[in-house]
Chain A
Amino acid sequence: MASGLHQSDFKNPVVRWIDARLPVFTMMEKEYGTFPTPRNFNYLWNFGALAMVTLLIMIATGIFLAMNYTPHVNHAFDSVERIMRDVNYGWLLRYVHANGASMFFIVVYVHIWRGLYYGSYKAPRELLWMLGVVIFLLMMATAFMGYVLPWGQMSFWGATVITNLFSAIPLVGDSIVTWLWGGFSVDNPTLNRFFSLHYLLPFVIVGVVFLHVAALHITGSNNPLGIDPKGPQDTVPFHPYYTVKDSVGLVAYFVVFAVLVFFFPNLLGHPDNYIPANPLVTPPHIVPEWYFLPYYAILRAVPNKLGGVVLMFSSILILFVLPWLDTSPVRSMRFRPIARIALLLWTVAFFVLMWCGSQPPEGIAVVLARIGTAYYFAYFLVILPLLGRLERTLPLPESISRPVLRGGGPLPAGAAVKPMEKA
């Protein structure tokens, strides 16, 4: 600590001068250059980087949209139409932002599913996982409030229905809803505060993402085998191996994103939201955006107001305790023949709930929603805890590099030595 300067090895004198005083270049080199990363990632490991890029796209387009948006009940709808018709490339900014929300949820759902399949939530990554759930909750809040801003019919009635969820709280529910609204109905004060928070929360997400990544770089990444790297032979430096792999995924992702924006920009939206908000008329069939449909189905599956609301919030909150519900020491579902099927069924249940959420709450949709809800929770509360005790897992490979270096074929018989390795 004599000189107080960081010992920097960079050749470029300007970089070295800065790095000696503020070692950001050393940090970047350590965390994104030489960072040892399991060598066996598949493309599902792209989705963290894709989510990061999408967050930046949303913030950039959002800032420029805000330059032309007016958060007032009398002007909001018209200002959005002005963005679409008059502002240079306003249509592009808005379609990228609106479809970016959908793409963000697709990416994050895949990212979460990858965590579920490969056991990325298990020790020592519990906190990393919980920070991810916090990001997910913030994303949902941000997306919901953003959808209110155009002040169309779906905006207005979505805001009304979702804020009314809080009226289910016993005793103080109505007071809380009045407080959320800043009045006695969804009105200008509501729109103003939603705009304020919709601008704020993405930056909160950036902060939590930073913590998420910081925690990731302490434990290191999980991998498709779910076993820990045993040494340098099991890892490759992040750059160039995964910077390039992420770039390949990013190009493919941008193609899908661009097709959605340029050819089907309203595919995932609702036509009703191109009708200005009318507090006196509810649209005949009101549904949330597609990414909220499974939770909406869970809400409606219960014939009790408070019960439905509690179950809906529980469906997300249960993810916080997942690391302790799944007691199996084996991370990757590749080696868990029964849990793998259970998770695939859970995935089916998720999509069934998504479909149920899009249907009017009657007939088969209600029955399916109840079955789907039951299985959704049973997977976490019954199946995983039981399988942790009962399931006979497949033998784990000795190391990440071993099967690869022997030609990538089936595991050699000798690999079965430590089936219950602390995964």
Chain B
Amino acid sequence: MAETLATHPGAPLGAEAAHGAEPEHGGGKRRDFLKLVTGAFAVVGTGAIVWPFISSMNPSRDVLALSTTEVDLSPIQVGQAVTVVWRGKPVFVRHRTQQDIEAAQQVPVSELRDPQTDAQRVIKPEWLVMIGICTHLGCVPLGQKPTDPHGDYGGWFCPCHGSHYDTSGRIRKGPAPKNLVVPPYTFTSDTQIRIG
């Protein structure tokens, strides 16, 4: 503004405002360019500012550090099941009986709502490891204890809305759309697994 004043001493300031809007000497293009560059920088800057806020709501490092759980399988007898916590969720670990395994393997895959063979759901047939959360609306199905209801297929039964799971944790009856989820896990030794 001062510069304009210096070059047009005594000129009324209204003329200067009009001058800025005039497209003479391609001045309009220069103004457009400045607006675009300023706008682009503002958008990038806003994104850079917003990102840390969004990121801060994701799991923090101490939460991520708890993202694996080791389970010692040696004390679990045939037919027994234990529930361990992995990422705040229950994980069912079941030492299946020969009967359980055969029942699971003999089901024709075509009958299943979420077709999966038993072999696709286990690493070693006698150990079934899966997240104990019903795929309907997130309740924990019953069936870990011998005294629990096991549903019509000898596996798990969700008391919330009546989903029945078989001895491979596959959905057989009720509203749930998917089989119980098998988490990523590996055998670190014959009697030890690491979930996550």
Contacts and interface: CB of A to CB of B under 8 A. Distances in A.
Interface in B20-58: 52-53, 55-58
A280 interface: no
15 contacts: A60-B53, A64-B56, A68-B56, A82-B60, A82-B62, A86-B62, A86-B63, A87-B60, A88-B52, A88-B56, A404-B5, A404-B13, A405-B10, A405-B12, A408-B5
A89 interface: yes
Contact of A405 (B13, B61, B63): B13
Contact of B10 (A85, A401, A407): A407
Contact of A88 (B2, B9, B55): B55
B6 to A, nearest CB: 9
Of B13, B56, B58, B62, which is in contact with the most chain A CB atoms at under 10 Å from its CB?
Answer: B56
Given A85-B61, A408-B5, A90 B12 contact: no
Contacts of B61: 85-88
A387 interface: no
Interface string A91-103: 0110000000000
Interface in A371-423: 401, 404-408
B57 A67 contact: yes
Contacts of A39: 13
Range, interface on chain B: 10 to 19
A89 B49 CA distance: 11
Contacts of B57: 64, 67
Contact of B56 (A90, A405, A407): A90
Given A85-B61, A86-B61, A401-B13, 11 more contacts: A64-B56, A82-B60, A82-B62, A85-B62, A86-B63, A88-B55, A88-B58, A89-B55, A89-B56, A90-B60, A408-B2
B89 to A, nearest CB: 21
A129 B5 CA distance: 34
A85 B62 CA distance: 9
Contacts of B62: 82, 85-86
Contacts of A408: 2, 5
A93 B53 CA distance: 8
A233 to B, nearest CB: 8
B56 A93 contact: yes
Contacts of A64: 53, 56-57
Contacts of A92: 52
Contacts of B5: 404, 407-408
Contacts of A405: 10, 12-13
B63 to A, nearest CB: 8
Given A86-B62, A90-B60, A407 B9 contact: yes
Interface in A34-70: 39, 60, 64, 67-68
A286 B73 CA distance: 57
A89 B12 contact: no
Interface string B54-94: 01111011110000000000000000000000000000000
B172 to A, nearest CB: 41
A64 B5 CA distance: 48
Contacts of A82: 60, 62
Contacts of B55: 88-89
A67 B13 contact: no
A39 B12 CA distance: 13
Contacts of B56: 64, 67-68, 87-90, 93
A177 B62 CA distance: 39
Nearest to A96: B52
Contacts of B63: 86
Contacts of A88: 52, 55-56, 58, 60-61
A82 B56 CA distance: 12
Contacts of A68: 56, 60
A161 to B, nearest CB: 33
Contacts of B12: 405
A54 B62 CA distance: 31
B119 to A, nearest CB: 39
Across the A-B interface, give the 3 residue pairs with the lowest CB-CB distance, nearest first.
A89-B52, A86-B62, A86-B61
Contacts of B53: 60, 64, 89, 93
Nearest to A93: B56
Nearest to B45: A254
